[in-house]
Amino acid sequence: MNQPTFLDHLPKFAFFTGKGGVGKTSATCATALALADQGKSVLLVSTDPASNIGQVFDQHIGNQITTLNTAPGIDALEIDPEAAAATNRESIIKPVRGLLPKTEIQAMTEQLSGACTTEIASFNEFADLIADPDLTSDYDHVLLDTAPTGHTIRLLELPGDWSQFIDEGKGDASCLGPMAGLESRRSVYQAAVNALSDPARTVLVLVARAQRSAIQEAERTSRELAALGMGNQHLLINALMPDLDGDSLAAAIRDQEHKELASLPSGLARLPYDTTTLHSRNVVGINSLREFFTATPTQSEQAANHVREVAGKYPPLADLVDQLAEQTHGLFMTLGKGGVGKTTVATAIAVALAERGREVLLTTTDPAGNLTDTLNGTVANLTIAKIDPDQALREYQNEVMATKGTRLDATGRAQLMEDLQSPCTQEVAVFRKFSEAIREAHDHIVVIDTAPSGHTLLLLDATGSYHREMLHQMGDNLVATPLTRLQDPDYTKMIIVTLPETTPVLEAEQLQCDLQRASITPWAWVVNRSVAAAHPTSEFLHTVADGEIPQIKHVQHLTERMAVVPLLPTPPIGQDSLHSLSQSAPLARSASAR
């Protein structure tokens, strides 16, 4: 087994973080096994809602420390973040249930149901492991799958009584709710933060793929946490395409990955880093874990026929476009976790509809200038509107600080500003901008990249403030709010975008449940960057493709409509490339042309 260099001087605690699907869990488990093989005692902890540590080691683990039968020297613990969030939520709501009106209880429940609540509840679960040396004294190393974000660390470092801050109405509905009632653990949090900031005790392993979005996320995480004192960082570029003789698709992807590595952002380029090679099968079992850091690709001769038989039946994006093109107006939104390609899918849909003569407005959080470059100029019938999320957030922050903030003391203003820097607040701010585009869908087709989550929609609806604001802005003749328009399947069609991998599919399934809580049923799913749909030629890629099939089948059970978009040899840049995505078999032609 080739050892990654970060094992050379590994401190007590190692956090593995990165976008969903980049291989955090596999990297964490493989590292734990490498340490155990050296005779080290290891505690392996996951706070990832998509955790499959038990599957990797073929043993049930759950929310208690469990000795792994297949890997002597490793104990494991899977913290269920949803269960932790539910417990935290109930501890806050139970004392006032029966005392407050039902609508207020519903508002509190939704305020405590977002991603920030889950993350802080998770941190609350493993804070003791970091803060109390006695709890981990029997272990040489504690490996944690998924690290807290910079936002969570900032929240935990801020002083003050969060319960009072919420009860007195100083903060708007956003991410502060999770902190209410937790100030009694302030000393534990401070000890945990101190350990995270100590390079002698903690290292942060940034896991990424050699893809632009994953690298950008790693760079943002690195910068944000370094600013908070977590400067001991190591980069792990996972799953590089191996050198496969005679496979033009693999060669093109390999070239693109090396270009990304050659142009790493300066913040990442200065970090020490290791690389791993793409595995053709899921990393499950002791043998595959021991091979995780090796560079020898494995393959299956039986996979090719299975892939050819099944992949040929996958519906292309063109099928969804045909149905969308039947409308002359309406709102089409792509949703999904970062890095799954929702911007590309939204743009491809917009281009395809414009080419069919529809008047289309494409609204995205990407700068309009970059999209214009991507399209190689203008496209007939297509208009691009710019929404800058940072600018939207600044405008909203300034508005709140100029009103509510003027009534607070210095501590209260600091707490309010932290509240206004939360992910939930930015989503609210961007949604205010999106609402203008929602109205325009009365007259023509509007394609929106990145829709708000169901949590944000319910949060806005429960508080009533945004609803009243829209009534005030739009006048008494308003017959529907933005939320009711999103709930109308004839007016709005939401499309979930994911990848044919375990974690992205699970995250997308959670997103669908989130939307259903807001009475929104996604119209369709798009499985993006599928090797199976790309008609590979090598046995290695056939084996990779075969591993995608169970995930695609799972998606078929979750939705009435689905499209599978093949992995392109190069990123889809330019109108011709985007056009090819919405055709029946773009990759068969692309691969043969190379």
Q: Phi then psi for 20, rounded to 5 degrees?
A: -60, 135
What is the reported pLDDT for 407? 84
Boundary-marking domain end, from 228, 261, 292: 292
What is the reported pLDDT for 162? 46
**Which CATH number goes with the domain that contains 381?**
3.40.50.300
- How many structural domains are present in the chain? 2
Same domain, 124 and 187: yes
Predicted TM-score (pTM) of the model is 0.82
Boundary-marking domain end, from 292, 326, 354: 292
Same domain, 317 and 219: no
pLDDT: which is higher, 31 or 114: 31
Same domain, 208 and 356: no
Same domain, 107 and 220: yes
pLDDT: which is higher, 185 or 129: 129
Give per-residue pLDDT as tens, 171-182: 554 555 555 555
Picking from 159-168, 244-253, 443-452, which range would have the lowest pLDDT averaged per residue? 159-168
- Is the CB of residue 532 less than 8 Å from the CB of residue 518? no
Same domain, 277 and 321: no
Give per-residue pLDDT as tens, 352-373: 999 999 999 998 875 554 566 5
Side chain identity, residue 405 = G
Same domain, 380 and 466: yes
User: What is residue 526's three-state secondary structure?
Assistant: strand
Residue 515 in any domain: the answer is yes
Kindly state the average pLDDT of the residues 413-430: 75
Same domain, 211 and 265: yes
Joined tokens for residue 171: 């903060």
Residue 38 in any domain: the answer is yes
Give per-residue pLDDT as tens, 460-513: 555 444 444 545 555 544 446 777 888 899 999 999 999 998 888 988 998 898
What is the reported pLDDT for 16? 93
Residue 502 C-beta-side C-alpha neighbours within 13 Å: 18
Q: Buried b vs exposed e over 165-184: b needs ≥16 C-beta within 10 Å? A: bbeeebbbbbbbbbbbbbbe
User: What is residue 166's three-state secondary structure?
Assistant: helix
Kindly state the average pLDDT of the residues 179-200: 77
Mean residue pLDDT across the chain: 82
Same domain, 220 and 318: no
Joined tokens for residue 245: 């003789």
- Is the pLDDT at 90 greater than 60? The verdict is yes
Residue 174 in any domain: the answer is yes
Give per-residue pLDDT as tens, 285-314: 898 899 899 866 666 666 767 777 777 788
Residue 275 in any domain: the answer is yes
What is the reported pLDDT for 300? 62
Helices (H), 339-422: 342-355, 368-374, 389-403, 410-419
Cα–Cα dist 195/15, whole Å: 12
Picking from 79-83, 236-240, 416-420, 537-541, which range would have the lowest pLDDT averaged per residue? 416-420
Cα–Cα dist 477/488, whole Å: 19
Residue 424 in any domain: the answer is no
Coarse DSSP helix, strand, coil percentages of the chain, rounded to the nearest 5 percent: 50, 15, 35
What is the reported pLDDT for 125? 79
Give per-residue pLDDT as tens, 249-285: 999 999 999 999 999 999 999 999 999 999 888 888 8
Q: Which of 462, 133, 494 is nearest to 336 (CA)?
A: 494
Q: Which of 403, 499, 381 is nearest to 447 (CA)?
A: 381
- Is the pLDDT at 111 greater than 90? The verdict is no
User: What is residue 181's three-state secondary structure?
Assistant: coil
Same domain, 286 and 330: no
Same domain, 181 and 283: yes
Instruction: Give residue 575's domain range.
Output: 309-389+444-593
Same domain, 287 and 318: no
What is the reported pLDDT for 594? 31
Report the catalytic residues.
21, 23-26, 48, 503
Residue 538 in any domain: the answer is yes
Residue 98 in any domain: the answer is yes
Same domain, 30 and 59: yes
Cα–Cα dist 393/426, whole Å: 5
What is the reported pLDDT for 585? 45
Kindly state the average pLDDT of the residues 317-336: 94
Boundary-marking domain end, from 235, 266, 292: 292
Give per-residue pLDDT as tens, 215-241: 988 998 899 889 888 899 999 999 999
Kindly state the average pLDDT of the residues 48-54: 74
- Is the pLDDT at 377 greater than 70? The verdict is no
Residue 158 in any domain: the answer is yes
